[in-house]
Structure formats: C-alpha cells, structure tokens
Structure 1
Amino acid sequence: MAVSASRLNLWGGIAFLVLVLAALIVGGVQVRDWLADEQRMPVQVVDFSGDFSHVKVGQLERLIRQSQPGSFFALDVNEVYHLVEAQPWVYRASVRKQWPNTLKIYLVEQQPVAQWNEDLLLNPYGDTFDASAEGLSLPRLFGPGGSEKTALEGYNAMHSLLATVGMPIAELSLSERFAWQLQLQNGIELNLGRKEFIDRLQRFIDVYPLLTKETKAVKYVDLRYDTGLAVGWKNGDSDEIKEES
C-alpha cells in the first residue's frame, strides 16, 4: 500500500508539472501573439533626425512600415537599418527603438561633390552613389572604372590651385592611360598629360596673363611639353610658346 501511494504521488507530481508547463507554453504563445499584434502595440512614431535635405523621409517611412508591419516588439531593428542604409542619399544611419512606441533614426546624408561618368555621383571620399544630380551645380569627372578616388584627388589639387586665380573646373577627364584633361568654366581646355600635371597647371597659370593680352580668344592649351606650351585659338590659329631657360 505504501508503494502504491508513493507511485500515485509521483504520477500526480508529474501530471502537475505537465499541466504547469502546458500553461506556461500556452501563456507564452498568447503573450507573444499579443505583443506581435500591431493593433495593441503599434509603432506610432518614426522619428528622423540629422542634417539632410535630399532624403525623402515620408517615402522612407512608408518603406519601413511596409517592410515591418508588426508591432513595436516585432519590429526588427537590423532589417530597418539595412533598409535605410540602402537608400541612395543615405551615407550612414543608426536605428533604435524607444519605449513605448517610437522608432528613432539618425541619418548622415551623402555629400555630393562631383558627377561621375554622367550617371553617378561622388562623395568627398571618392565613393560613388546612384542618385540624381538634378538641380545640383557640380563639376563633371570622367575616368575608367576604379579610378574614382584618383580622379577626385587630382580634381581637388587642381581646383585649389586654380581657385587662386578664379578659374574653376567644369569638367575633368582621366584617360585609360591616366592622362589628365580639363575644361575650365571659361571654356578653355587644358591638356596636362600623365606626368607632373600640377607643375604643368602652374605653368599655365603663370602664362595666362600673357594670353589674355592677345586679341584672340583661347580655345585650348597643350602643356605636354618639357618646356613651354602650345596654344590653340578659337579662330583656328595655333602658337607654340617656349619657356626661356
């Protein structure tokens, strides 16, 4: 009889444990469903902050809500982060939840400094991004794939030098052989070649006051000489100017 009573107690304990576990599982499922129910715990506010002008936050918020239709607790911050950083005008982003119903997003916007090969934009680090240049006044840079950083570094160096005489660059081209060509905003074309392009550009700056004294308008200047340069005029004439040693 004692053995039978102990067995009954054992099975009773097991049954009680099973009932407790079942109640916990059912309760957990119900809590999970309740927390995932958007109607009960919706994300009411998507708060964007940062310094930006090109990012369309209304459109971005719609994309986020479409990709994350669940509740505040069901929302996946990592997925939102990757979605936000995939937008063309977003350079960097941080995403976090704020209790009880807010998603906070901090944006760092891309800073366009030049157009690249007519279909992309360049940021200050030489990274390309696919966004529209409409309404932007940017220099045009051209070059072979993979030369973006080289082209931008060359542009920055030449722009700084030309800024001292008020002649901004409208277009820069870097050939497959890495020869440099410029078109200035005043219409003058410069052929700098592959070597010592900064020294050659300085040579142009030094001789430019002499060229402005001519009655003819300058079309191009070829600086691919060890000394001197060749000048093409808009009337079709050309001259070669030698430097005196």
Structure 2
Amino acid sequence: MAKDTKNKSTLWGGIVFLLLVLSFIVYAGIKAHTYLQDEQQMPVQVIDFSGSYQYVDIGRLEGLIRRSQPGSFFALDVNEVYELLEAQPWIYRASVRKQWPNKLNIYVVEQTPVARWNGDLILNPYGDTFSPEGVTISLPDLFGPGGSEKTALEGYNTMHALLSTMDMQIAELSLSERFAWQLQLESGIKLNLGRQAFIDRLQRFIDIYPLLMQQEKAVSYVDLRYDTGVAVGWRDASGSTTDEES
C-alpha cells in the first residue's frame, strides 16, 4: 500500500514538473516573440538603396517603407515592401532582401522614359506606360488610340533611326484611329505618310529633302500619300502656306 502511494506521488511529481517545464517554454516563447517584434529592441536601422536612378526620390521611398513597416527587423514583411516599391511610377523593377541584424537591402531598376504618350503618360522602351510625378522631361510626343502604344513606339523607333541619318529629329508622331501616320519634325516640317508603306514613303521624303532645301521658300508640309510624287506646302514670308504638287 505504501509502495502504491509512493508511486502515485512520483507520478504526480513528474506531471507537475512537466507542466512547469511546458509553462516555462510557453512563457519564454511569448517573451522572445514580443522582444523580436519590438522595434525598440530590434529596429531596422539601415535601408540601403542601390542601382542606377535619376528620377526616383530615395528619401521619399525610405519614408514610405518606414511608415508602412513600423515594426522590428523580424516583423518587416519583405513581400509588402516589394509590392510598395513596384507600385511607384518611376520604379520598373525592384528586389528586397533583409541582412542580419538590422539592414534592408533594396536594388532599384528605374523606368527609362523614351516618349510622352497622349500628353500625360510616359512610355518606357517596352511600350509600357507610367504616370510621372511632377517631373518635366523633354521627350518626343506620341499620340494614338488606346492599346496602340507598342505599335506607335515601334514605328517611332524605326522612323527615328531613318531620319537620324539626315540629322533630323521627330518632335511629334500621331497614329490615327485608322492607323495612318503623321509626323512633325523638330524643324517644323509636317509629314503625312498615310497607312501603308510608311517607311518607303519616309525614305522618299529623305531622298527629295536636299532638293526641297534648295528652294527659297521654307517647307510647311509634305504629303507622301501618292504612288509617285508628293504634295508640298510652302511657307511664305507672311507665314501662310501654299500648295504645290510634284
């Protein structure tokens, strides 16, 4: 009987000890979690930005990150920081990585502006649009129907390369609803290229350009929508335009 009592006492003592150990583990886990989540104990002290950028406001970005992630190094959510960065207009791509014990490394790939689209958006080299934030940039103006951004940019790039051989630059390109092309050069000359064979027509303009420059009057526009020949508008001294076909 005494032996049974002793065994029961030993059993209950073991159970109590186990409960005490488990309680200590839970308590220690809660304290550790609280410590690691406390910004005062484990703050993100350094946010290091790298990459090549001209228009990205790094100070503003750091402020956004710290306001959106006010917790400790361990509480900081890398995925949320990544999504925040890629939502910024001037950021094309970003990568985010924690570095023990208190550093956040961010690599930024900035948008490359190549043209203004429909007066208020910017095109990058891939034909994607983004909205700038208070930045004034000298860019060629491209206009066209919604969804034609890539087509307009591809046409611009091809025509820009062709005109560059004559040291001429495109100031404005327009693509109509029917996909007819019109250009205005930085010299002020307007070119009507139509819908078809617009590269061949632009080459025709380049071929006759030296002859046009030999004239005493300034060229206002050249209509190239003809199988042969062109229509030329001349600007007289008063600024008015007269037409001539050749």
TM-score relative to the length of structure 2: 0.93
Query: Partner amino acid for 1:65?
Result: R
Q: CA deviation at 1:106?
A: 0.7
Give the CA RMSD over aligned residues.
1.4
Contact kept, 8 Å, 2:89 with 2:133, in 1: the verdict is no
Deviations 1:70-129 (A, max 9, x none): 111111111111111111111111111111111111111111000111111011111111
Contact kept, 8 Å, 2:92 with 2:111, in 1: the verdict is yes
Q: Say if 2:97 is the partner of 1:96.
A: yes
User: Would the alpha carbon gap of residues 86 and 194 (structure 1) be closer, same or farther in structure 2, given more than 3 Å must change?
Assistant: same
Counterpart in the other structure of 1:12: 13
Higher mean alpha-carbon deviation, 216-225 vs 227-236, is at 227-236
Contact kept, 8 Å, 1:121 with 1:133, in 2: the verdict is no
- Aligned residues with identical type, % of pairs: 68
**Could you tell me which of 222, 242, 245 is aligned with 1:237?**
242
SS at match of 1:237: strand
Query: Partner amino acid for 2:13?
Result: G
Q: Say if 2:206 is the partner of 1:205.
A: yes
SS at match of 2:43: coil
Deviations 1:32-90 (A, max 9, x none): 10111111111111111111111111111011000011111111111111111111111
Query: Partner amino acid for 1:227?
Result: T
TM-score relative to the length of structure 1: 0.94
Deviations 1:173-213 (A, max 9, x none): 11111111100000000010110110000000111111111
Q: Say if 2:169 is the partner of 1:168.
A: yes
Distance 1:47 1:121 in 2: 28
Counterpart in the other structure of 1:150: 151
Where structure 1 has 5 or more consecutive residues not aligned to the other structure, the ranges are none
Distance 1:157 1:203 in 2: 15
Q: CA deviation at 1:13?
A: 3.0
Matches for 1:52-91 after TM superposition, within 5 Å: 52-91=53-92
User: Would the alpha carbon gap of residues 161 and 133 (structure 1) be closer, same or farther in structure 2, given more than 3 Å must change?
Assistant: farther
SS at match of 1:186: coil
Query: Partner amino acid for 1:25?
Result: V
Distance 1:182 1:72 in 2: 54
Q: CA deviation at 1:7?
A: 4.2
Contact kept, 8 Å, 1:47 with 1:105, in 2: the verdict is yes
Q: CA deviation at 1:10?
A: 3.6
Distance 1:9 1:227 in 2: 111
Distance 2:73 2:191 in 1: 59
Counterpart in the other structure of 2:36: 35
Counterpart in the other structure of 1:111: 112
Q: CA deviation at 1:15?
A: 3.0
Where structure 2 has 5 or more consecutive residues not aligned to the other structure, the ranges are none
Counterpart in the other structure of 1:139: 140
Counterpart in the other structure of 2:195: 194
